[in-house]
């Protein structure tokens, strides 16, 4: 795996695959940091990059997070601007790399990712039905950056399935269905579970890209 943090070299000229981590800067409840999605996307991209001998670009840390906007800390650029940024990035990277894939860790970015045929992307997907700042993301962060997790502040949020809360969420954002911003329950999160989920995400993406 090579990172774009390195100097330009003969290798760069013939680069095959470049992975671009895509996260968000948004509230993740009282116990997880604002850059949770970006940390996850970056970790997944680096492990996939190591497995496929791909380059990994610096992450896009701002996404489309309008549904979280009423919570302080959220910084969103919206779907339209994000689409423009990703299309321009792909065009730029493709002048020297044969394939560019966005590695996305935030569901709110999907509308931007599907808005242009020029964007190829994969999701950091889990089997769990844990939507936001619950056991899955908390476990991942305990594995990836434990010093950023405030377990003493962790509390359950709305644990209803997405289909039930979606109408209220579309109308009033996440705050309308969960006053603490959590959709799920972080109880029981462990670094071991985080490591397991990360391996699963990486394996799914490696399989899709080969």
Q: Say how many residues touch Zn ion, by CB under 5 A.
A: 2
37 binds Zn ion (CB under 5 A): yes
State the binding string over 141-180 for Zn ion (x if CB under 5 A, else -). Answer: ----------------------------------------
CB of 37 to Zn ion, least distance (A): 4
Q: Which residue has tokens 């680096």? A: 46
**Smaller CB distance to Zn ion: residue 38 or 83?**
38
67 binds Zn ion (CB under 5 A): no
**Smaller CB distance to Zn ion: residue 17 or 128?**
128
CB of 52 to Zn ion, least distance (A): 24
Distance CA(163)–CA(126), nearest Å, equals 18
What sign results for the dihedral spanned by CA atoms 10, 15, 19, 20?
positive
**Smaller CB distance to Zn ion: residue 29 or 90?**
29
Encoded tokens for 187: 């109880």
Contact (CB, 8 A) for 55 and 15? yes
Distance CA(105)–CA(36), nearest Å, equals 9
**Smaller CB distance to Zn ion: residue 93 or 112?**
112
DSSP secondary-structure letter at 167? H
Contact (CB, 8 A) for 133 and 157? yes
Instruction: Give the interface with Zn ion as residue ranges (CB under 5 A).
Output: 36-37
């Amino acid at each position: 795996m090579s990172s774009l943090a390195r100097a330009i070299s003969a290798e760069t000229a013939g680069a095959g695959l470049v992975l671009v981590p895509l996260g968000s800067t948004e509230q993740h409840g009282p116990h997880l940091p604002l850059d949770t999605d970006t940390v996850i996307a970056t970790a997944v991209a680096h492990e996939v990059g190591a497995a496929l001998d791909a380059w990994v670009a610096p992450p896009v840390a701002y996404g489309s997070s309008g549904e979280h906007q009423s919570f302080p800390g959220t910084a969103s650029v919206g779907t339209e601007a994000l689409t423009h940024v990703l299309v321009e990035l792909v065009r730029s990277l493709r002048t020297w790399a044969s394939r560019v894939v966005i590695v996305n860790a935030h569901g709110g970015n999907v509308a931007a990712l599907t808005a242009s045929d020029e964007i190829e992307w994969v999701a950091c997907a889990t089997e769990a039905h844990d939507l936001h700042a619950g056991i899955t993301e908390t476990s991942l962060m305990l594995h990836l950056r434990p010093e950023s997790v405030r377990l003493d502040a962790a509390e359950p949020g709305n644990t209803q399935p997405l289909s039930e809360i979606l109408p209220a969420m579309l109308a009033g954002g996440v705050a309308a269905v969960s006053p603490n911003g959590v959709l799920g329950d972080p109880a029981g999160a462990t670094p071991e579970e985080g490591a397991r989920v990360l391996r699963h995400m990486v394996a799914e993406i490696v399989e899709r890209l080969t």
